[in-house]
Structures are given as C-alpha cells and as structure tokens.
Structure 1
Amino acid sequence: MIKIANQTQDQRAENLSENLEEMRLTVKEAAKYVNESPGVVRNWLRELKPYIPAVQGENGYHYFDKPALERLMLIRQLSRDQNYSIKQIEYYFATGEAKVEPEAMEERLSDDMRKDLDTILERLERQEQFNQALVMKLDEQQHYIKESLNKRDQLLLESLKASQEAKKAEVKKKRFFNWFGSDKS
C-alpha cells in the first residue's frame, strides 16, 4: 500500500509540468518542485505570506497552484542566486518588484551575532594562550623526567659497577684463600 502511494507521489511529481494548471501541491510537493526543503518553504510562507498566493484548505494546510509555484521559484532565485534576505525579498514584492542591492555580509550580521563572534574570538585567543602555556609546561616536565631518568640510570650503572667490582674482589679473595688453603694440605 505504501509502495503504491510512493509511486503515485513520484508520478505526480513527474507530471507536474503537464498538469500544473489543475493541480494543487502540498508544501512537501512544492518544496520538491522548487528544489528546497519543506522547512524552507514553510519559512517563506510564514515570512512572505502576503506575497505567496497559496490556497489554504479547510484542513488548514496550504496548497500551491501554478502562480504560487512561480512565486516560490522567484523567491528561491532571489534568495539563492541574488543573496536577498527575507526582508529584501519582502521589500522587493512590496515595492512592485523594485530591484534591491543585496546587503553585504558584514551589514547583514546583527549586533548580537557580532557580540557572539567577538566572544568566540576572545575565547579562542584565551584557548590558544592556554595551549601555549600547556605545551611549555609539558616541555618542562618532559625535560625534568628525562633528566631524572638519566640521573637514575647513571646511579644504577655506578651501583652495578660497584657491585660487580665487589664481586670480583670477593672472588679474588676466595681464590687467594683457596690457594693458601690448598698449599697447607
């Protein structure tokens, strides 16, 4: 049953250009038609409702006919291709489609976004300083550990040499006493 419904939706989407005059598409179908996500189309509908001639059904859902789809395509073009903000698109429609120069990205940033970016940059700088201090501390500790290990190794070698010399001396002593002991017999 679901497979049949999916096939029906796919066939409907494929035949859109032929049957647009008589069809009314749901938000999801209209989004597919204009190559956007349903969430984006819902946002456009919410923000630009007076300029999108969608029909609202008795069930409260919005349906899109050919003029509404053409308007969605224009909104998509203005938004994606010409970098218009929602406010600029609204102005475009409100002024009878007067061209608007897209805002520079810097101008589009709100004061809150600038503050957030400043805070992030400040934290990033502090993190870099912390990382540098940490690397220096780790280098110091690594040097200390290396020196400590070298001293320990040196002491162990000296101790081993002393132990070996003591054993050699003891062996000589035993040989000496063994030599004297064997002469008396």
Structure 2
Amino acid sequence: MSTDNNQVEEMNEHRELTIKDISEILDEEPHTVRNWLKELEGYIPYERKRNNYRVFKKEGLERFKLIKYLNRDQEYTLKEIMLYLDTGGEAFKPIPKIDADSMLAEEMRKMRERLDELEQRDQERDHLLKNILGQLEKQNTYIQHSLKERDENITATMREMLEGKRLIAAAKDDNQEEPKKQGWLQRLLGK
C-alpha cells in the first residue's frame, strides 16, 4: 500500500490536480473538498486555467491533507483551522492520538511515582518521629535523675534540720535539769 502512495506522490508532484483528483486522493466527497476550498480559500494555493477550473499542485494537496487531518482526526472546526493556519500552527497544536493501553500505562506510571513519593515521605516521617522519641526519652531520663537528686537533697536537708532541732531541744532540757548556781549569800542562808 505504501508503494501505491509513493506512486501517487510522484505522479502528483508533476501533475496538476483537480478537485475531483484531490477528493479521490483524500477519500472525501468532492462537495466536501469544495466546501473546504470555499471556507479556506486564502489558505489553499491553487491556479486557474483558461477554462476557469482550479488546479492544485503538490503544495495545495499537502494543505488539503493537513485540513483533513485537523478536521477529521483532531476534530477542529473550520474556524479553528483558519486560526491554526493564520498562526502557523501555534494557536492549536494537534493532539496526538493516544490509545487506551498507553493512557493506562501513563496513569500507572504517575500512580507509582506518587506512591514512591508517599513512601519516601512516610520513611522520612518515621525517621523524624524516632529522633523525637529518642530526644524525649533522654529528656525524661534527665528529669527523673534531677528529681531524684533534688528529693535526696531535700531529705538530707530535712534530716539535718530535724537533727538540729533535736539537739537544740536536748540542750534546753539539759539547761533546765541543772540546778541554778547559787550565789554565796544564798548558800549561806540556804535558800
């Protein structure tokens, strides 16, 4: 089939084509080709012969092929095709046809990427949580040690205070039990 297309291409390079020839090559109805020509006349190169027929060369055929592709395959309206041709194809870029398998494969690839990204975030979060937990355990150990040391210091201080109070009380008791020293006059009188 490609040899037929090559032969048609070689034949078309040197030959002038009519609307009927173009419609056969494009596998379109002649009235469709005429409508495209009427709506997009300034965009399709052609010449007029003495009999007032329009004839097209290779450039005209290529333009018709592009119009068919945009209209049939890409579903562009004639106005969109005009804009496309006015901007040199910049206004609308033809969208390549994607089959269901490649669409599914692309979606699967995107989902895998997202899953990998989420797994990496999950691992980073776990690592961070382990670090925080380790810091909290160190802090808890330090606090427990500090509280124990404080409690021991308070207990020792209280023991010292109680011992001091006991010694003071004992000293007072010792002072009360000793007889008062009597002066020489009191001893003499016996009081």
Q: TM-score range by the shorter chain?
A: 0.3 to 0.5
Computing the radius of gyration from Cα coordinates, the structure with the larger value is: 2
TM-score between the two structures when normalised by the length of structure 1 = 0.45
TM-score between the two structures when normalised by the length of structure 2 = 0.44
